[in-house]
């Protein structure tokens, strides 16, 4: 037997099993919510699974379980287990999140949801946990040529 090094950060616990998968980043960036880019749509508190009730206050960092969580977890108003123990959504996401693919390599991504449903049934419900979707849509309408509605931190710009 050997001593196990305790995890200091949540991602270290996740990467014990998932960090050595082919093509995966083994040292993820810690996403800080108070970064240099302005985020006018960022809510003061997260929203529960119903999309209405106020959840916990925003912490200083985005944690793995802020996105990867049971789709019916107790932390945000459900009755299921907390943590990524299964979800009806792909990639063990807590809430629905739709993304689009580019028609070909190096081409812009086409937005399949230019006028999305902003309710808890809509394609960007995961984003709505921390961001005011109505505010994002209002900004998008004002600056239609300059901003697209897409939540992925890792995607290229999209065409609407």
Q: Name, in order, each residue with C-beta under 8 angstroms of 21's C-beta and a sequence gap of 6 or more.
A: none
pLDDT at residue number 159: 37
Retrieve residue 7's tokens.
């995890």
pLDDT tens figures, 29-75: 555 555 565 666 778 888 888 888 888 887 777 788 888 999 999 98
Question: Where are the extended beta strands (E) located within 6-152?
Answer: 45-47, 54-57, 109-110
What are the residue ranges in the chain where pLDDT is below 70? 1-4, 19-40, 142-160
Q: Reduce the DSSP state of residue 57 to 3 states and report it.
A: strand
Contact call for residues 66 and 95 (beta carbons, < 8 A):
no
pLDDT at residue number 72: 92
pLDDT at residue number 18: 72
Q: Name, in order, each residue with C-beta under 8 angstroms of 94's C-beta and a sequence gap of 6 or more.
A: 49, 65, 66, 67, 68, 69, 70, 71, 73, 76, 87, 126, 129
């Amino acid at each position: 037997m050997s001593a196990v090094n305790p995890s200091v950060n949540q991602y270290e616990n996740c990467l014990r099993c998932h960090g050595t998968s082919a093509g995966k980043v083994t040292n993820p960036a810690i996403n800080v919510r108070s970064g240099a880019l302005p985020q006018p749509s960022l809510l003061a508190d997260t929203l529960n699974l119903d999309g209405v009730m106020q959840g916990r206050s925003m912490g200083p960092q985005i944690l793995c379980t802020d996105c990867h969580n049971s789709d019916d977890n107790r932390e945000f108003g459900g009755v299921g287990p907390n943590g990524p123990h299964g979800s009806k959504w792909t990639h063990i996401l807590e809430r629905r999140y739709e993304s689009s693919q580019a028609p070909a390599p190096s081409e812009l991504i086409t937005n399949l949801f230019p006028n999305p449903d902003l309710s808890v049934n809509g394609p960007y419900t995961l984003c709505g946990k921390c961001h005011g979707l109505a505010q994002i849509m209002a900004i998008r309408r004002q600056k239609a040529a300059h901003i697209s509605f897409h939540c992925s931190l890792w995607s290229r710009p999209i065409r609407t």
